[in-house]
Amino acid sequence: MNDKKGIEVLKDMRLSKSTAFTAEERENLGLRGLLPYAISSQDIQKKRAIENIRRKESNIEKYIFLSALQDRNERLFYRTVIDYIQELLPIIYTPTVGEVCQQFSHIYRIDKGFYITPEDKGDISTLLDNWPEKDIRVIVVTDGSRILGLGDLGCNGMGIPIGKLSLYTAGGGIRPEHCLPVMLDMGTDNESLLEDLLYLGYPHKRLQGEEYDEIVDEFVMAVQEKYPMALIQFEDFITPNAYRLLERYQKKILCFNDDIQGTAAVALAGIYTSLRILGGSLRDQTIMFLGAGSAATGIADLMVTAMMEEGLTIEEARHKLWFVDINGLVTGESKNLQPHNKPYAHDYKAMGFIEALREIRPSILIGASGAKNTFTKEVVELMSAHNERPVIFALSNPTTKAECTAEDAYKWSDGRVIFASGSPFGPVTINDRVIVPGQGNNVYVFPGVGLGAISVGARYLPDSAFLVAARELARQIHQSDLDAGTLYPKMTSLRTISFEIAVAVATHLYQLDLATLEKPRNLRAHIKSMIYDPTY
């Protein structure tokens, strides 16, 4: 029971309704005199909030306003974000969050989230006692080593867990008090941050090797002890660490890596939708990736699982997938291949990207390289020469890193491309037709997968859960979306999509006997009952 009164109520972000407190509440809570006369409904407050946001001239100022609102009146923040999700998603997440992370130490105002540094070794479990909430269900953790396509941002990467958890609540309905953003601040190798007087992180070179692994392990174990039902989402770790940690923990605890598995599900859903336009099945496609990091390989691995369900052997499936990285086509001859690249290093001669496009003639081209403008006019024209409807996804984030813009892809293919991007692009007019390019945003998948997993008390999340999520997301794309040229559903349906993905994933986990909670008689009603509603 809460017995706060007066100004304490107004200062509590979870309790405050600000000007929406009724006359009776003002009387009972000792608020008379502390608020102006008018009693605003939440709807009016929301209109005031959006008016304020729209008045801000830069996206980063909009972000700062929203972050402060979250800290003053959490329910109004979520009401506003949910009701204006299309407009505000690019502010609370990509692309603005990239800019926020770059400037994090300079725009820092409000203490949010949980920070762990090498100096906390041995104390992590005790430190978690300082967190005010005890029933944590979803943790997003990063070490800031590869933030979006922006590289090592050290502790400034905290913008990512904070942003993603806001989306868990806004999109998936996970209660905000059940969310914990964590920064494993292991130092940074970014010299400009180390030289920055205002930098807020642990001002040393990154911890590496065993010492690093020991801290991650201590953190993971402390979470198991304090919050045994919690899902850990690993986010924006540099690729070798991302894979190593996923391999170590995937089947031991409830966790996933969004850059690998979440991206894979979103991209595959977009491919399934493209196939509704193209006809045929996934196994008939030849797919090339530019970039052979965690995002691209994650997509490929899930595609292999999907193609095997369509009847191919693992070798046949892998042979449909080709990678080009910074050194050219990935082949058996390529040097310094990482373990995750080896299954796709085919017996083929070395060559550059353009030559590989000419020889291998992919029907689907996916960019996850973090290298801007690499899908040149020549690339798009080659794809269009080889395919009636070329499928091109330029997934690199933020917008400044995209392999090509939506406009260029449509222009250079004379409107024939089936296109999706990682960051949002505005509508494009081509041949008198207005096309709204689809954004393969991970937010379509992770809140639903997370909600599904925690709703059953999952022991762990198998890869197949992401295939289930991809299929469910593709199912949520309506003909009207396709007619508008977009491969993904409207963001305004995000809560419905997340709910349906949660139900599908939960059902799948019961089928695989990976749930620890007894199956409720009505699973949909059970999941619905967990969903946070920010209405007063």
Catalytic member of 78, 93, 460, 488: 93
536 is catalytic: no
Question: Which of 90, 173, 187, 291 lies at the binding interface for ligand NAD (CB under 6 A)?
Answer: 291
Question: How many beta carbons lie within 10 A of that of residue 15, not counting itself?
Answer: 16
| 54, 59, 61, 67: CA torsion to nearest 10 | 90
Residue among 74 and 236 whose Cβ is closer to ligand NAD: 236
Among residues 205, 203, 182, 251, the alpha carbon closest in space to that of 512 is found at 251
Residues 6+ apart with CB under 8 A from 268: 299, 302, 303, 306, 467, 470, 474
Q: Which two tokens stand for residue 146?
A: 């590869």
Residue among 440 and 534 whose Cβ is closer to ligand NAD: 440
Catalytic member of 164, 249, 344, 460: 164
Interface characters, 358-397, with ligand NAD (x: CB under 6 A): ----------xxxx--x--------------------xxx
- In the complex, the smallest distance separating the C-beta of residue 338 from ligand NAD, rounded to whole angstroms, is 8
Q: Which two tokens stand for residue 117?
A: 């540094």
Q: Which two tokens stand for residue 409?
A: 């892809």
- In the complex, the smallest distance separating the C-beta of residue 321 from ligand NAD, rounded to whole angstroms, is 14
Interface characters, 482-501, with ligand NAD (x: CB under 6 A): --------------------
Residue among 333 and 533 whose Cβ is closer to ligand NAD: 333
Contacting ligand NAD within 435-454 (CB under 6 A): 440-442
Q: Find the helix or strand (DSSP H, E) in which 226 lies.
A: helix 209-226
Is 293 a binder of ligand NAD (CB under 6 A)?
yes
Question: Which of 296, 430, 454, 502 lies at the binding interface for ligand NAD (CB under 6 A)?
Answer: 296
Give the span between the Cα atoms of 203 and 205, in whole angstroms: 7
Contacting ligand NAD within 120-149 (CB under 6 A): 146, 148-149
Residues 6+ apart with CB under 8 A from 228: none
CA angle 481, 499, 511 (to 5 degrees): 115
Is 266 a binder of ligand NAD (CB under 6 A)?
yes
Question: Which of 216, 246, 265, 295 lies at the binding interface for ligand NAD (CB under 6 A)?
Answer: 295
Burial of 489 (0-12, 13-18, 19+ CB in 10 A): buried
Is 164 a binder of ligand NAD (CB under 6 A)?
no
93 is catalytic: yes
What pairing do the DSSP bridges indicate for beta strands 433-435 and 428-430?
Answer: antiparallel
Binding site for ligand NAD (CB under 6 A): 146, 148-149, 239, 259, 263, 266, 290-296, 324-326, 368-371, 374, 395-397, 401, 422, 440-442
Active site residue ranges = 93, 164
